[in-house]
Amino acid sequence: MGSHCLSKAVTSPLCLGVLLCCHLFSTEASTFALGVVSGTVGADGDEKLSPTITIDEAKSLMNLLPAVEELRGKGMDVKWDVQAVPTMNNKVYYFFWIYNATAQKERDIGSISVGNCAVNKHTADVRAWQVSHDVSFGDDGALITGKELEGLQKELRKKHGITSASIQEYRSAHLAKRIIPHEQAQSAVRLPVIERSDDTAEVSCWSGSDHLISRLGRSPIISSRAGYHAYAEVEAIAFKPKYQETYTGSLCENRVRLLLAKADGSSFQILLDSNSPKGDCVTVEGAESCEVKGIQLVDWSRDGTFLLADLVQWVYESDALLMHVPIIYDVPNGKFIRPDVYHFFDEFYKTDFFKEKPDPAGNFCEFVLRAEGFSADGNLILSASRPPDDPTADEQVFCVDKKQTFLFDLGTNKIKRLPSDYKVPRYSTRDSGGVSEH
């Protein structure tokens, strides 16, 4: 008897991991698989059986997959887990993830998965299927064939009274519970804002809630001695996907805006809008970062012409750090000043923590930087603090144990430590009434 190559029958590689040319099972293996059939029939042969095959019978089909036999022929231990996938058609199919237990034991991560297979309860067909959105679009993989496999399928069909009409009816059943039109795969409903506050620094769709909700943060108006007025607004918009199976878009998007009015009674104009290309980008260690999600207004300068704010950046659904990055708006010249303070504080603390390409042998102590205000001569007052403990980190090293305050010279980029009892001056006034809806 010759060998049968699975690649002739299956175009999808996931039930194999790679396409493997398969040998026939030994008589011992075949007898083991067929025993599932003969061992469940009554001695008198007239037991009334279900028209669908059992989970144990489906497992017996896994034993006869050409890919499984190939690996076992090489001395590998192959196992499988039954998968109850909520988005899949569990009413018609049993779903299996097949894996190389020998590779798993040896921690050979790249060789563990053999593939995913689905066994039709009504036909005993076995399909190789790919864990991807294509399944939800109607891609049902390919039927797996093999002489020993087909022999057991024939026995099971006979045992359960599965007719050709039944096979024709159920063979075309989709693997996915529902088929999704391509054009609607990324559809999502924008949820209305249901919570408002004056917090604009850390507005999130998740904060304090198990469910996604849309929030709006709008700061009080801060006014300068020169007659300028500014406020910030952050909208965290939550999205409810129409189809969870295929949606890959954002579940929450933040829009950050900074607005300025140049005189009493004049309308507010947008200075910064994260919806504009690179409108909210900052520089950290020489690299451009455009993941700003919040903003915190700090103060006006003593002469009332420079506005200081912290842009707050993080990445949703990631372990990226939350960072405060100062920016300054120069009203007379109509431009932003974006000092790369992290570069100079990394040098001050002799750490590579915030560098895009750190030295593996370098120091990696952490600190949290915040803008505190302006000095009387218009330079920055910044503070460095100890970050919160990260339970997911293997080890944390901190640059500071207690809050330290610094003067950062915007002209020379030099850093000067200030006394622990230094009191940051305040030059703006705040209107707690905020801004009316617009």
pLDDT in tens, 369-400: 999 999 999 999 999 999 988 877 778 899 99
Instruction: Kindly state the average pLDDT of the residues 237-251.
Output: 93
Q: State the pLDDT at residue 72.
A: 94
Domain regions of the chain by residue span: 4-179, 188-431
Task: Using CB atoms within 10 Å of the CB of residue 84, give its burial: 0 to 12 exposed, 13 to 18 middle, 19+ buried.
Answer: exposed
232 pLDDT above the threshold of 90: yes
Q: How long a stretch of residues is the chain?
A: 438
CB 254 within 8 A of CB 293: yes
Q: How far apart are the first and last CA of the chain?
A: 81
Q: Strand 335-337 and strand 368-374: pairing?
A: unpaired
pLDDT band of 7, cuts 50, 70, 90: very low
**Percent of the chain scoring above 70 in pLDDT:** 85
28 pLDDT above the threshold of 70: no
Tokens representing 205 are 């769709």
Average model confidence (pLDDT) across the chain: 85
Which region among 66-75, 85-94, 116-125, 201-210 has the lowest average model confidence (pLDDT)?
201-210
Give the CA radius of gyration of the chain.
32
Sequence-distant (≥ 6) Cβ neighbours of residue 279 within 8 angstroms: 272, 273
Per-residue pLDDT tens over the stretch 393-437? 778 899 999 999 999 999 999 999 999 999 999 999 998 655 555
Q: Which residue has the higher pLDDT, 124 or 291?
A: 124
